[in-house]
Chain A
Amino acid sequence: MIVARSLGNKEGVKIRQSIGKSIPRKETWEKVTGTTKYINDTSGEPGLLHAKIAISQHAHAKIKSIDSSDAMKIQGVKAIITGQNAPILTGSPLADRPPIAIDKVRYYGEPIALIVAEQEYIAEMAALQIKVEYELLPVVLSPSDALQKNAPLIHEHLAEYKRHEDVYPEPGTNIANRTKIRKGNMEEGWKNSDHTIEVEVTSPQSDHAAIEMRCCSAQVLPDGRVIIHSASQSPFVIRRAISQSFQIPLHKVIVHTPMVGGSFGGKSAIQMEFLAFLASRAVGGRAVNLVNSREVDMISSPVHIGLHAKIKLGCSLEGKMMAAEILHLYDGGAYSDRGAVMSRSGAVDCTGPYRIDNVHCDSLCMYTNKPYSTSFRGFGHPELTLAIERAMDLLATRVGMDPLEFRFFNAIGPGDTTPTQTLLDRSNLGDLPMCIAKLKTLIHWDELSLRETKGHLIKATGVCCFWKNSNTPTDAGAGAAILFNPDGSVNLLCGAVEIGQGTRTALTQLLAERLRMEERMINITMEVNTETDPYQWKTVASRSTFLVGNALLNAADDAIVQLKNIAAIVLQCSPEELDVGNGKVFIIDRPAVGIEIEKIAYGYKYPNGNTIGGQIIGRGSYAMRNLTLLDPETGEGNPGPEWTVGAQAVEVELNTREYTYKIIKAVTVIDAGKVINPQFARSQITGAMSMGLSFASREAFIFNDKGAILNPQFRTYKLIRYGEQPEYFVDFVETPHVEAPFGLRGIGEHGLIGMPAALANSLSIAAGVELNHLPLTPEMIWRTIYDSV
């Protein structure tokens, strides 16, 4: 019986390459034809009820009473839920937040009641009829004020809050978390410092400004299953949080996340989901939809964290950095949420990517009477980088060194240790000096004058470096499954959420590379379903391609073994003699002999009908390795698998008559480990630069002295607009991270990290004053100049 077939290709199987190609997104056609379905596109379904949030008009007040009788009288109102009906505390790592305020409100915009009605506008009408009697309390509006000994306490029962991960709140204060870094000997460090500088730098809270407002629906089925649809980065965390908070067996909570319309960290927090569940439970389990208006999305849902930083740096006469003393006061707002972890992350990378042997850092997450913070692209790093890179520029000037040369000279490298005393090598660190060198060439640094005056216009270029570790939990992980179809194509199942970053397409490229298969033969849907898709921690921290990528490579290897085993029987050889590629399993020494995958994907059927094997299903999983918690006294520990490093520059033209400015160029050189899809990588980094420049130049919530937000609309909250963008330049260095798929490093957030610093540095050079406070509006520059005279 001849079963082996000639594949009709004397040259053998051509090995395909998928990595490094700019293939289009899998969801391109849906998006460009407007047929993509986002969560709220199904809000018109018959029978669906609608919920709205009534929000607090005070930033800090005791709730004396809530009268919802007028609201309840409105025809079509089904239920009204207040904090008393939902006496639970949520939040991770520190459970400090009731989904609806209980006893007191801690920020302007905090949910005080939830209304369920037949129509969205009825729920909104009723929300306006909720009458609350308050007793006003003094407000705390900055993290520095919150630290004062006599500051009003925002959380009186801090000691009693449940802790899910390592977090160190200090009861009796407004400190939600403190991370300490104690490395080396400070006395020694200062003794060896011939030059020292001190600087205070601030960045404000701001909005994530995703196009799609946060939206969620919930339904409790008669058999007790809870079905949640949510625009989220964390479907598996929603499942766990709903299960834990409401004592529902985990497997009975099913979360669906379709394509998400932008997120930037803002949809990683679990907020709306608690409310949607409470709403559905209050109406007998009927399906309830909850979507934020833009204004509520901006101020009631969690926001981008702020930072007040104090930096003291010292270096030797030659410019070698000797000591750093750093205080970070993160403006976490009314509840800690991921702000606690961001403050830790702000300690881990507090020095920036520089070799400093003596480091003392306290990084605190402070409670204030402002909207609470959650992750924002860069996770605490854009803020800390602004602070340390302003300090670096000051110190370079003090020493009299070129700012890039000073950074190159002090760049951290293999053999050095981080603030958490992790030993670095090429794999876990990448190559910062190479990034700086490439940046220098790209911007013609050596021919560039630092400051070029033409009439009342001054051109200047500011530079900075960045690094970022992911600060994931030590057990963050993911799974992947590969299901073969009888036409030889495969379905890839995984839990990474598509938020516009292109992850799900990039993952098909990793799989195509490993299976040596055409990408069009790999199917992936844009929806994640926690009941049928393998687990993934969350789609955050630029970690999806790493975690899911490793899982799917394991799954691919598992499938390859299965393919070879069955093909070996058919081809009458041993599996070791076989290889897989181009839709076939073939004999390595005789590539022309083999069998098409489609003939064995569901088992192989002999001509007489006998069948061996069955569907090929590859399975794989991966979890972080060798990570440790940080020592609470010294910060020693291993916070994540690797750093991504890079160097950035911004060129501005300042009008010295009006202090307006144009951003002319923005440049990033990043060590990407391995570029999977060049077009995606460039657009991620360019988009991140745009977001960073927008945030740095104009974005900020403006509060009055009572803590009310004065600009909760895009009429007055400024964002960078199309047409204002500078010329963008992106280039890559590729130093593989050995533990990552094909050596890749996270790049989703990193283009943003140094933009505030590079912009502040360029404008400081141009204006001739130290600009240490965001946003860098012309008025801010004017005021700094005016105040310094």
Chain B
Amino acid sequence: MIPFDFEYYKPSSVHMAVELFQLLQNQGKKPVYYAGGTEIITWARTNSIQPGAVINLNSIPECSVMGIQKDKLVIGACVTLSALSEANPFPLLSQTAQGVADQTARNKITLGGNICGKIYYREAVLPLLLANSRMIIAGIHGIREVSIHQVFLQQLRLENGEFLVQTFTDQYYLSLPFVHYKKRQIGNVGYPLVTVAALKQDNQIHTAYSGVCSFPFRSIEIDQVLNSSSIPLAARIEQAISKLPGSIIHNTEGSAPYRKFVLKQTMADTIHILERR
């Protein structure tokens, strides 16, 4: 039961959506964009958020596309994680998406929603970080295309009123050797203790992490250390961990020391598998 009143809109174009946002914001209604709704409904039920208006993006055609356009994989922000895994255009992304929540929830959760959510795991972004994807972002001043590394720093840095429309990924990355590990407290469903996604490109391993710090990240320094094959693996991993971009989280899923233990194992497994491919 959502204990407050809010307005609901379902615009059918990018332009209408951003205009609506501005209008509603000017009216003081604190609008939010809505894709799958799983987070919005959860936080609204517990009264942690009180948006006065909700703008559903699902009727915007650009947000629902999925396919190859000019050597690039285009995925609309409103494509659900289950649809993404089912179509499987980017196996690493499919696997990463498959690890989020459970099937019922993945039928609702969207790529854009997972990346832009408040819940800090945002696992679906990891493959896009590794594939140097480009983000198509709409705002009141039109549409901009920008490298993921410029806008995704811990979270997607959107300007006021902007939303993610699509992601573009170079086809080259789709078939690179990869691994994906998701380690949970227990069982096959739940938030990560550690999620690692990794790609091997030009004999170099690129890794990205969720569940370790309170944001997902890819770190050039960590990758450099992990690829220094002259150093023994255990030492590389110790060094990599000293270069984490934030403190290791401690929450109901697991303590920081245990996460560190799991992270080391998972890094070792990642390197072990990818070094041989």
Contacts and interface: CB of A to CB of B under 8 A. Distances in A.
Interface of A: 120-121, 124-125, 127-128, 293, 295, 657-658, 660, 697-698, 702, 710-711, 713, 715-716, 718, 720-721, 723-724, 777-779, 782-783
A600 to B, nearest CB: 56
A657 B186 contact: no
B27 interface: no
Contacts of B186: 660, 697-698, 718, 777-778
Contacts of B102: 721
Nearest to A712: B46
Contacts of A777: 185-186
A698 B189 CA distance: 12
Interface in B226-256: 251-255
B47 interface: yes
Interface in B59-110: 102
Interface stretch (B140-148, B160-168, B258-266): B258-266
B182 to A, nearest CB: 12
Nearest to B261: A782
Nearest 4 A/B pairs, CB to CB: A124-B3, A125-B3, A779-B258, A711-B252
B47 A128 contact: yes
A652 B276 CA distance: 31
A139 B265 CA distance: 39
B12 interface: no
A127 B46 CA distance: 12
Contacts of B252: 702, 710-711, 716
Looking at chain A's contact residues, is the secondary structure mostly helix, strand, loop, or mixed? Answer: loop
Contact of A698 (B45, B185, B262): B185
B1 to A, nearest CB: 5
Nearest to A129: B3
B175 interface: no
Contact of B188 (A124, A723, A783): A723
Given A710-B252, A779-B185, A716 B191 contact: yes
Contacts of B8: none
B255 A125 contact: no
B123 to A, nearest CB: 14
15 contacts: A121-B1, A124-B3, A125-B4, A657-B265, A698-B185, A711-B252, A718-B186, A718-B190, A720-B187, A723-B188, A779-B185, A779-B255, A779-B258, A782-B261, A783-B258
Contacts of B4: 125
Interface of B: 1-4, 42, 45-47, 102, 183, 185-191, 251-255, 258, 261-262, 265
Contacts of A125: 3-4
A713 B191 CA distance: 13
A698 B253 CA distance: 11
A721 B189 contact: yes
Given A124-B3, A721-B187, 11 more contacts: A125-B3, A293-B1, A293-B45, A715-B42, A718-B185, A718-B190, A723-B188, A724-B187, A779-B258, A782-B258, A783-B258
Contacts of B2: 121
A783 B185 CA distance: 13
A128 B187 contact: no
Nearest to B183: A658
B190 A724 contact: no
Given A720-B187, A721-B188, A658 B3 contact: no
Contacts of B265: 657-658
Given A128-B3, A658-B262, A658-B265, A715 B191 contact: yes
Contacts of B255: 779
Contacts of A710: 251-252
A777 B47 CA distance: 31
A295 B262 CA distance: 30
Contacts of B46: 295
Contacts of B191: 715-716
B16 to A, nearest CB: 29
A702 B187 CA distance: 18
Nearest to A698: B186
A697 to B, nearest CB: 6
